Chains A and B, each alone.
Chain A
Amino acid sequence: MASIDVEKVGKIYTGGVRAVTDINLEIKDGEFIVLVGPSGCGKSTLLRMLAGLETISEGQVKIGSRVVNRVEPADRDIAMVFQNYALYPHMTVRQNLEYGLKNRKTPKAEIDARVTEAARMLEITQYLDRKPRALSGGQRQRVAMGRAIVRKPSVFLFDEPLSNLDAKLRVSMRGEIKRLQRRLGTTSIYVTHDQLEAMTLADRLVVLNGGQIEQVGSPLDVYHTPASTFVASFIGSPAMNLVKAECQGDRLAIGPAMISLNGYAPASGTVTVGIRAEDLRVVSGEEGMPFVVEYVEELGSQRLVHGLVGDQALTIALSGESEISGTMRIAVDPARLHFFSADDGKRIVSANEAARAAAASSPAPVA
C-alpha cells in the first residue's frame, strides 16, 4: 500500500516531441484513479513513467515516501496489467504467475501459497497447467491480473486492460476489477479511453487532453461540473450538447430562441453553452425553443433525438415511449445549463458553484 505523488511531471521524447506537460497529482493510499482521454493524450505515457518503462523527463514521482525517478521498474513495488496481457506464451499459467516471485527469490512454499490463493480468487485454478494460447480472452485477462496480484505490490497499474475483450465480457471484468481492488485495498491507476469504464471504476477521474490535465475529480463531479468543453464532450454518453449562444444581460439567445436566466448573468457576449441531452425536455404551446427533428436513435430504454435549433445541432434523450413529431418545442431548466468561455473553452464558474466548491458539501439547491 502506498500513496503516489506526481509533481510537475513532463515527458519529452528524443527529437523534442512533448507528450506530457506539467502533471501534478496526489494519489491517496488505496485510491482507484482512472486516467482517461482520447488516444494520444499522454495517459499511457504517464502510466509508463510511473511504471518506470519510460524515463521521466521533468518533475518527480514519489511512491510512498521514496522518489522513484531513477528506480528500476522491478524495484518500484508495482505490478502492471497490459492491454494485450503480455503473458509469457511459452510458460504455463502457473509459471506465468510464479515468474515474478521466482525472480525475487521468494521461498517455494510461499510461492505455492500465493499462486494457489490468487488462482482461487480469480477462479483460474483449473487452468494452471495450460499455456496462455489455450485460454480465452477473459481467462487470459484473469491470468494477467493474477500475475499482478501474487506479487502483492503496493500499486497496481492497468494499461487499457479490457480493450481487447468483447463488450459483454468487458462489463463483467470491469466489475471484477473493481471488486478485487476494493478487497485488496491496493492503490490503483487505470488508463482507459472509454469514458464509461472510467466513470464506473474511478474513485477519482483524471481527464487528460494534449498531454495536460483538464480536470481531476470524482466521476459525478466531472459529470456535473465539467471544467471545460473538452471534458463536457468527452465524459457522458451521448456527449453533452455544446452550442454557441449570446448572453444579453440575464437572457440567453440560442439561435432564434431566448431563454431567461432569472437574474443570473454569467458573461456578456458570445459563450458556449453546454446542455446534457437528458436535461432537455419537450414542452407544449409556444414555450421553449423550436426543434426540427432530423433522425432518431432507438436505445430501447431511451430514444436519442437528433435535430436542429436554428442552425445548431442538438441531441435530446427522451424516454422510450415518448411521442416524436417533426417539429417540437424543447426547454431546459436554466440552472442545468453549463457555461464555457467561447475563447478557451474553460468553464465559467457561477457564484453558486464556487460556494459549493468552497463548502465541498452536498449539492446546494439550484437558484
Chain B
Amino acid sequence: MMDTKRTTFNNKLLPYLLLAPQLIITLVFFIWPAAQAVKSSVEREDPFGFSTVFVGLTHYKRLFADPSYLDSLLRTGVFAVAVTLLSMGLGLAFAAAVDRLTRTSRIYTTLLVWPYAVAPVIAGVLWFFLFNTSTGILPFFLSQFGINWNHDLNGTHAMILIIIAAAWKQVSYNFLFFLAGLQSVPHALMEAGAIDGAGPVKRFFTIALPLLSPTTFFLFIINVNYAMFDTFPIVDATTNGGPAQSTNIMVYKVYQDGFLGLNLGSSSAQSVLLMLIVMVLTFVQFRYVERRVQY
C-alpha cells in the first residue's frame, strides 16, 4: 500500500455526514432493491398479492431444470463474448490507428467518442432502422450479395443485429482506454524496437500489446459486464428477445418473466443469479487481474 498522509477527524460524526449522500444513494437504489430481490426469490406470491409463502430455493431449482433458462444462459455467453471481442477488437484497431497520427488525432478521437454519448435505447433504434427488413439500407445492400436479411424471422440474424448494436456503443469506451494505454507506452521502447529490427506491426504485437495487458483485462471484465447487464435497452428496442427466444439474453429474460409474465419469484431468482455473476467477475478483476497481469 502507498504511504499516504492521513487526516484525522476529531469530530466522530463528521466523516459519516460527509459519506451520507453516497451511502443513502447506495442504500436506496442498490442495497434495498437487491435485498428485496433476494427476499422475493425465495417467496411465492398468489396472483392477487394477498398472501406470500416462503418456498426456499424452489425457484432456483426450477430455473436450472428449465431448458429455456439454460438456453438463455448459453445465448448470453455467446452474446457477451461476441460483443466483447468485436468492440474490443475495433476499439484497439481504432486506437492503434489514431496513435500513429500526430496532427489530426484530436479530431478522430472526438468523432470516435461520440457513440458513447448516445443512449443505449437510441443506439438500438438506430440499428433497428438501419437493419429494418422493409426500409433499412443495410438489408438492401445485403440483398445485392444474395443475403436475405430478416431478423424478424431469422434468429441468427437477430443475434447478429443486437451484437452489432451493442458492440457499436462500446467501441468508443474501449477506444479511449486503449488509446490512453498506447500513449503511455514509453516512446523509447518503440524506438528501441525499431532499431532492433521490428517493423510497425511487429512492434505493435510484441511490445505495445503485451504492455497493454492490464488495460486489456480491465476492459475485458468491463465489457463482459456491459454485455450482460447494460444491453437491456438494445434488445428492447430491436428484437424484444425474439424471434423464438433467440435473442432473449438473461437481463431481458428477467424483465420478460417478471414484468410481462408476472412470475416475480422466478424473475427475482434470475436477477439474483445475474447479480452473483457480476460479483464473481468483479471479484476476479480485483483479486487476480489487477495483481497478475503486470509485467
> In this complex, what residue of B is CB-closest to A81?
B192
Given contacts A73-B195, A89-B295, 13 further A-B pairs with CB under 8 A are A52-B195, A53-B194, A74-B194, A79-B195, A80-B191, A80-B195, A86-B189, A88-B193, A103-B202, A104-B197, A131-B295, A147-B196, A151-B196
> In this complex, what residue of A is CB-closest to B199?
A74
> How far is B198's CA from A88's CA once the two chains are assembled, in angstroms?
13
| Given A53-B191, A82-B188, A88-B207: A74 in contact with B198 (beta carbons within 8 A) | yes
The answer to whether the Cβ of B210 comes within 8 Å of any Cβ in the partner chain is yes
Task: State the Cβ distance, B211 to closest chain A Cβ, in Å.
Answer: 6
| Given A82-B191, A84-B186: A90 in contact with B211 (beta carbons within 8 A) | yes
Q: Is the CB of A86 within 8 A of B188?
A: yes
Task: State the Cβ distance, B205 to closest chain A Cβ, in Å.
Answer: 12
Task: State the Cβ distance, A104 to closest chain B Cβ, in Å.
Answer: 5
Q: Which of B63-84 contact A (CB under 8 A)?
A: none
> How far is B189's CA from A32's CA once the two chains are assembled, in angstroms?
25
Which of B196, B202, B213: most chain A Cβ within 10 A? B196
Q: Is the CB of B194 within 8 A of A72?
A: yes
Q: Report B-chain residues with C-beta under 8 Å of the C-beta of A84.
A: 186, 188
The answer to whether the Cβ of A100 comes within 8 Å of any Cβ in the partner chain is yes
> In this complex, what residue of B is CB-closest to A144?
B192
> How far is B201's CA from A103's CA once the two chains are assembled, in angstroms?
12
Which B positions have Cβ atoms within 8 angstroms of A?
186, 188-189, 191-199, 202, 206-207, 210-211, 213, 295
The answer to whether the Cβ of A51 comes within 8 Å of any Cβ in the partner chain is yes
> In this complex, what residue of A is CB-closest to B103?
A14
Listed A/B pairs (18) with beta-carbon separation below 8 Å: A52-B194, A52-B195, A53-B194, A72-B194, A74-B199, A78-B195, A86-B188, A86-B191, A88-B189, A88-B192, A90-B295, A99-B196, A99-B198, A100-B195, A103-B196, A103-B198, A103-B202, A133-B295
Q: Per DSSP, are chain A's interface residues mostly helix, strand or loop, or mixed?
A: loop
Q: Report B-chain residues with C-beta under 8 Å of the C-beta of A51.
A: 191, 195
Categorize the interface residue count of chain A: 20 to 34
> In this complex, what residue of A is CB-closest to B207?
A88
> How far is B206's CA from A90's CA once the two chains are assembled, in angstroms?
10
Q: Report A-chain residues with C-beta under 8 Å of the C-beta of B191.
A: 51, 53, 73, 80, 82, 86
> How far is B211's CA from A83's CA once the two chains are assembled, in angstroms?
20
Q: Report B-chain residues with C-beta under 8 Å of the C-beta of A53.
A: 191, 194-195
Q: Report B-chain residues with C-beta under 8 Å of the C-beta of A151.
A: 196
> How far is B128's CA from A360's CA once the two chains are assembled, in angstroms?
86
Q: Report B-chain residues with C-beta under 8 Å of the C-beta of A82.
A: 188, 191-192
Task: State the Cβ distance, B238 to closest chain A Cβ, in Å.
Answer: 41
Q: Report B-chain residues with C-beta under 8 Å of the C-beta of A90.
A: 210-211, 213, 295
> How far is B216's CA from A90's CA once the two chains are assembled, in angstroms?
15
> How far is B189's CA from A84's CA once the two chains are assembled, in angstroms?
10
Task: State the Cβ distance, A202 to closest chain B Cβ, in Å.
Answer: 23
> How far is B195's CA from A53's CA once the two chains are assembled, in angstroms?
9
> In this complex, what residue of B is CB-closest to A48?
B191
Q: Report B-chain residues with C-beta under 8 Å of the C-beta of A79.
A: 195
Task: State the Cβ distance, A84 to closest chain B Cβ, in Å.
Answer: 6
Q: Report A-chain residues with C-beta under 8 Å of the C-beta of B186.
A: 84, 86
Q: Report A-chain residues with C-beta under 8 Å of the C-beta of B206.
A: 99
> In this complex, what residue of A is CB-closest to B190?
A86
Binary interface profile of A, 89-132, with partner B (CB < 8 Å = 1, else 0)?
A: 11000000001100110000000000000000000000000010
Task: State the Cβ distance, B201 to closest chain A Cβ, in Å.
Answer: 12
Among B188, B189, B196, B295, the residue within 8 A (CB) of A100 is B196
Q: Is the CB of B192 within 8 A of A80?
A: yes
Q: Report A-chain residues with C-beta under 8 Å of the C-beta of B207.
A: 88
Q: Report B-chain residues with C-beta under 8 Å of the C-beta of A104.
A: 197
> In this complex, what residue of B is CB-closest to A148?
B195
> How far is B211's CA from A131's CA once the two chains are assembled, in angstroms?
13
Task: State the Cβ distance, B183 to closest chain A Cβ, in Å.
Answer: 16
Q: Report B-chain residues with C-beta under 8 Å of the C-beta of A52.
A: 194-195
Q: Is the CB of B192 within 8 A of A86?
A: yes
A-B pairs, top 4 by smallest CB distance, nearest first, are A100-B196, A90-B295, A103-B197, A86-B188
